[in-house]
Amino acid sequence: MAGEPPSQNQPMILSLEQIKERLRSPKKKAAIDQAIKHQKRLRFHSETTLGKYYGTGDYALTEFLDWVKSATEMPEDKFSTFMYMMRWPVKTVKIVDKIYEDLAKVFDGQNPVYQFDFTSTEFLEDYMNYLTDIQFSNRWRSEGVMAMKLSINSILIVDYPQEQEGERPEPYSWLMDICNAIDYDEDEEELEMLIFRRDEKTAVVIDEESYRVLYYENDPDKAYIKETIPHDFGYCPAKFFWTDSISDRQKDIKLSPITTSLGDLDWLLYFMLAKQHLDTYAGYPIYSAFERDCDFEYEGERGYARCDRGFLKDMSGHYLLQGDKIATCPVCSQKRLRGPGTYYEVPKPGPENDNADMRNPISITTIDKDSLEYNVSEYQRLLKEIKENVVGYAHEPGNDQAKNVPQIMSYYEERTSVLRRIKRNFEAIMEWEAYTLAKGRYGDDFISCFIDLGTDFYLYESQYLLDLYHTARTAKADASTLDALQNQYLHARYRNSPDQLQKEIIITHIDPLRHITSDEAVVLHEKNLIGYHDLLMKLNLSTFVKKFERENAPLTKFGTALPFAERIARISQIIKSYVTRPTAQESFIPAAQPGTGRPAPRPRPA
């Protein structure tokens, strides 16, 4: 249940001998090793690093290159060139960065809820100030998203500072990368015991009763308990950062948003590098011509030299050197290809091939257009598949697509569904942290907590949503679709002005013709489809709202103690009382022109 403490079974406290045994043979060694390898593969495509030996380690790089070599059966010379194309950060990092920017919108919920219950409002006020001081929400927006991206298997630990400075304990939390874990025990989703490395000589054992500092110098037989610090949480103050696992059989390996796309990301990186490799020569043609006889021969002060296929040989048939390079023929070298491209000579027809070669004396070979287009199209297909799998959409709809309202609404639902899946993991760990911090600071004076990051998110800019709303209204979309689009627009436009947002929402409720323009309302009245009072209220709603606020109170302050439906009814009743049928001279709508049914033009003022 949300906000409730972890299950409290019989405490599992290891003796020193049991700890030594766990140091020698950790029960979770295989799971920890798999989790580390998993994170290295994630980081290979996600981490901005300037060298292959930093951050990601050799494992992911070696696995990728071995896969490329075996899957493509690439010749050694081509594979060597392919490896030279590897640059850091690898090319998929930029794509994955954009994906995580979209996933970080999980913290842009329109209606988040943070609820904490204490025995006294004094404790609540103090705790809210404490959460502000430690930047509780902002830290999860930054460090939490980074952990989701690079360290999905991390463990969150709550600890106390060595010395207490204020009147109350000041517990704090930190994320530990799984590579520092030695062993642990768990019961379903809760950790019962954790052993981790603090440095090369020290480890820490956390259980349901205390923190124990262990000195062991990487030799389990020499291990001894250096310090024991009891705590009053009643459970092990450590928890896996992420809840979702790869499968029921591998609960220790956490499911990153891009885990199921790692294979596609490998393929994408391969195609990006292959295309880059192709670009190095695709723009340059290959020229070929028959071998040309050259009778260049030199004999003088510098010795004897003759031409042999463009290069010089001496009397003994050895190539001559010019500096550190083979000397070229001064006649043939002037006839070689100048500028970009590649030049080859092919044997000319002769008695040895029965004069059978019928090719053109000179030919130009270019890269096959289909090969070029295939690399581009396959790259685009993989990119689309990855984005649809991870984020829920292939690309941000542009203005040309925005007119397809059902499609845009489908994009919104898909993206929202993905973010709701992500937010459940963040809510679980944030709620556990908030509960544990409060328990450590206030003890039994703290009762419970509840955190909900919201169910609707700011996915599009307000102007885009407004354009989409007008398009949907012109296309005569149904009222529920128009309501949803208008609500999204208002929340996006006034996301930083909650009072103005609340006022605009109230106005949509008192507007008798919510999705009808003023011009459309006049036409409807002429056709006797709406009444005169509804028309006047529509045409003058903003004026009437200002009068209401002058004579009563701001819309957001009026009747706040009443249920929302009753508030709207009272406000509407008062505003409707402002609507009176005007005389002909002060009519809001000019009299119709005879025989036309259309309003006469208003007279210009003298």
DSSP state letter for 592: B
Q: What is the number of alpha carbons within 13 Å of residue 325 lying toward its C-beta?
A: 4
Q: What is the pLDDT of residue 433?
A: 97
Distance of CA 82 to the CA centre of its chain: 29
Q: What is the pLDDT of residue 588?
A: 47
Cα dist. 19→28, 212, 220 in Å? 13, 11, 9
Token representation of residue 534: 């509804």
| Residue 177: pLDDT over 80 | yes
Mean pLDDT of 569-592: 69
Least confident piece of the model among 7-16, 153-162, 168-177:
7-16
Q: What is the pLDDT of residue 354?
A: 57
End-to-end CA distance of the chain: 74
Cβ atoms within 10 A of the Cβ of 465, count?
24
CB-CB contact of 253 with 235 (8 Å)? no
Residue 279: closest CA among 95, 94, 85? 85
Contact partners, residue 205, CB within 8 Å, separation at least 6: 14, 19, 193, 194, 195, 211, 212, 214
d(CA 524, CA 335): 85
pTM: 0.73
Least confident piece of the model among 34-38, 260-264, 529-533:
529-533
Q: Is the dihedral of CA 136, 139, 141, 144 positive or negative?
A: negative
Least confident piece of the model among 43-57, 87-101, 257-271:
43-57
CB-CB contact of 522 with 589 (8 Å)? yes
Average pLDDT, the chain: 82
Least confident piece of the model among 102-106, 256-260, 491-495, 565-569:
491-495
Looking at this protein, which amino acid is placed at residue 534? D
Residue 236: closest CA among 400, 459, 75, 5? 5
Mean pLDDT of 24-28: 95
DSSP state letter for 323: T
Kindly report, residue by residue over 55-97, the tens digit of the pLDDT: 445 678 888 888 988 888 877 767 777 777 777 788 999 999 9
CB-CB contact of 177 with 157 (8 Å)? no
| Residue 346: pLDDT over 80 | no
Residue 257: closest CA among 46, 455, 31, 413? 46
360 compared with 329, residue with greater pLDDT: 329
pLDDT band at 7 (very low <50, low <70, confident <90, very high): low
560 compared with 362, residue with greater pLDDT: 560
Least confident piece of the model among 11-20, 114-123, 270-279, 511-520:
270-279
pLDDT band at 449 (very low <50, low <70, confident <90, very high): very high
Q: Is the dihedral of CA 122, 124, 128, 130 positive or negative?
A: positive
| Residue 345: pLDDT over 60 | no
Q: Is the dihedral of CA 520, 526, 528, 534 positive or negative?
A: positive
Range list of β-strands (E), 286-413? 286-290, 297-300, 303-308, 311-313, 321-322, 325-326, 342-346, 362-365
Cα dist. 234→207, 228, 231, 300, 336 in Å? 9, 16, 8, 99, 84
Q: Is the dihedral of CA 457, 461, 467, 468 positive or negative?
A: negative
Q: What is the pLDDT of residue 53?
A: 46
pLDDT band at 245 (very low <50, low <70, confident <90, very high): very high
290 compared with 387, residue with greater pLDDT: 387
Mean pLDDT of 364-387: 74
Token representation of residue 427: 């809510």
pLDDT band at 403 (very low <50, low <70, confident <90, very high): low
Q: How many residues would you count in the chain?
A: 606
Q: What is the pLDDT of residue 231?
A: 94
Q: What is the pLDDT of residue 602?
A: 44
| DSSP three-state, residue 458 | coil
Q: What is the pLDDT of residue 5?
A: 56
Mean pLDDT of 464-476: 84
Q: What is the pLDDT of residue 470?
A: 86
pLDDT band at 341 (very low <50, low <70, confident <90, very high): very low
Determine what percent of the chain is predicted with pLDDT higher than 90. 43
Cα dist. 146→47, 102, 291, 434 in Å? 10, 13, 62, 20
Q: How many helices (H) and strands (E) does the chain have?
A: 18, 20
pLDDT band at 447 (very low <50, low <70, confident <90, very high): very high
| DSSP three-state, residue 238 | strand
Residue 2: closest CA among 99, 116, 86, 82? 116
Kindly report, residue by residue over 279-318, the tens digit of the pLDDT: 766 655 555 555 666 778 888 777 888 887 677 888 877 7
d(CA 462, CA 455): 18
Backbone angles phi, psi at 241, to 5 degrees: -60, -45
Cα dist. 470→89, 444, 456, 503 in Å? 43, 55, 21, 21
Determine what percent of the chain is predicted with pLDDT higher than 70. 80
| Residue 265: pLDDT over 50 | yes
Mean pLDDT of 471-488: 86
pLDDT band at 410 (very low <50, low <70, confident <90, very high): confident
Token representation of residue 416: 């929202």
Least confident piece of the model among 219-233, 235-249, 250-264, 368-382:
368-382
| DSSP three-state, residue 191 | strand
